[in-house]
Amino acid sequence: MKHDRKRSENTIDKGFKGILCPTREQAERIEKTFGCCRYVFNSFLDERIREYRERGKTLTYTEQCAMLPLLKKDPKTSWLGEVDSTALQSSVRALQDSYDAFFRGQTGFPKFKSKHSHRQSFRSTNNHGSIRLVDRKHIRLPKLGEVQCRFPMEVQGKILSAVVTKEPDGKYGISLNCEVPRPPEPEKTGKAVGIDLGIRTLAVTSDGKEYDNPKTYEKNLRKLRRTQRKLSRKTRGGRNWEKQRKKVAKVHQKIRNQRTDAIHKMTHELVYAYDLICIEDLDVREMSKGKLARGITDASFGEIRRRLAYKTEWTGKRLIVTERWYPSSQVCSGCGYVNKDAKDLKIRRWRCPQCGQEHDRDLNAAKNILREGLKTAG
């Protein structure tokens, strides 16, 4: 969630992910915070729906935040005062963000949160040092005290907020949002590149470089099916079922980690090698409804674009997103002839009927994306 705030000049927000190792008492308090945040979100969503049905109006974020102190004073909900107050406020903000995204057409109408969800989270804001690192292995969190933790990277900058999560495999994680000095811009290369994203090859650049698709889901599919098959034979809700469910969750976590690692390495290399990067505006949601849904989801085109966006901003580079309906794969990069036969995805190589130039489908698309991006960039 991004909100307006006063910030120091020449700084950026950077996240640091780690693992929490709470004691039994701390884990119980974390679970209670999950429940309180879920209660606030669901009850306030219900109030908004009821208010709109009865009066045709909706409650605002400010109005609902003002209700929180009243709930804590009410004997029926006084237990809300036992958890971090900023976590409850963040739940109200999350509800407002859900409404804003709905009215922008980005998501559906906000849904009630379920206590049976295997992934829970809450966000705490750092007020006057309420969140701080005690040493490399301990962090102080509101209402929790010192919690043992592990961060693969050294945490830097001013801590703004912390998100505590419980993953489906039962482990607790933490993500710190920190304000850090903007890194020095790398040397300009003077190069521009067009990138065509795909399934067979994750990315092909306009100068002919290919990035292999790790296909993490496909590589782990056999193990995933085996663990899911064992899960289906357990009695749902039993102790053995819960143990096996966590094993399935661990396989999914491994898939996500491998995919994230590959995307990080590719985007890092691209950002430092080129000053101008051009990509297509792909409708990933619509593409995921077809026969290639599994491959498109595994390739994670949206995540590639997201990482390129913030990395180019950090390094002073530029990202250009070309027009969505431009037929990059059908246009001859040599003469501009539009070959409608090349629309068939099975055609990997084709010869231009007009100029006779032979094209590799992905490389030709990348060259066209670069040309269109340069037009946009001016």
Write out pLDDT tens, residues 297-356. 888 999 999 999 999 999 999 999 998 888 888 889 888 888 888 888 888 888 888 888
Q: Do 168 and 203 fall within a single domain?
A: no
Q: How confident is the model at residue 2 (pLDDT cuts 50, 70, 90)?
A: very low
362 is an active site residue = yes
280 is an active site residue = yes
Q: Do 177 and 197 fall within a single domain?
A: no
| 6 in any annotated domain | no
Q: What is the DSSP string of 216-241?
A: HHHHTHHHHHHHHHHHHTSPTTSHHH
Residue pair 162/140 in contact (Cβ under 8 Å)? The answer is no
261 is an active site residue = no
Q: Which of 84, 167, 196, 372 is catalytic?
A: 196
Domain extent at residue 67: 11-181
- Global pTM value: 0.84
Q: Which residue did the predictor score with more confidence, 28 or 350?
A: 28
| 2 in any annotated domain | no
Q: Which of 187, 342, 339 is nearest to 273 (CA)?
A: 187
Rounded distance, CA 174 to CA 131, Å? Answer: 12
| 105 in any annotated domain | yes
| 118 in any annotated domain | yes
According to the model, what pLDDT value does residue 5 have?
A: 60
| 91 in any annotated domain | yes
| 187 in any annotated domain | no
Q: Do 155 and 230 fall within a single domain?
A: no
Q: Do 132 and 99 fall within a single domain?
A: yes
* Mean of pLDDT over the chain: 91
| 161 in any annotated domain | yes
According to the model, what pLDDT value does residue 296 have?
A: 86
Q: Which of 84, 167, 275, 280 is catalytic?
A: 280
Q: Which of 196, 200, 165 is nearest to 33 (CA)?
A: 165
Where among 135, 156, 181 does a domain terminate? 181
In percent, the amount of the chain with pLDDT more than 90 equals: 70
Q: Do 100 and 79 fall within a single domain?
A: yes
Looking only at the bridges linking them, the beta strands covering 192-197 and 201-205 are antiparallel
Q: Do 19 and 61 fall within a single domain?
A: yes
Q: Which of 84, 275, 362, 372 is catalytic?
A: 362
Looking only at the bridges linking them, the beta strands covering 145-150 and 11-21 are antiparallel
According to the model, what pLDDT value does residue 27 have?
A: 96
Q: Where are the beta strands (DSSP E) in the chain?
A: 11-21, 120-125, 132-135, 138-141, 145-150, 158-166, 172-181, 192-197, 201-205, 210-212, 276-280, 318-322, 349-351, 358-360
User: Among all chains, which residue has been given the structure tokens 């809700």?
Assistant: 237
The total number of structural domains in the chain stands at 2
The DSSP call for residue 308 is: H
| 186 in any annotated domain | no
Q: Do 148 and 197 fall within a single domain?
A: no
Q: Do 219 and 170 fall within a single domain?
A: no
Q: Do 148 and 227 fall within a single domain?
A: no
Q: Do 200 and 322 fall within a single domain?
A: yes
Q: Do 204 and 164 fall within a single domain?
A: no
Where among 121, 152, 181 does a domain terminate? 181
Q: How confident is the model at residue 97 (pLDDT cuts 50, 70, 90)?
A: very high
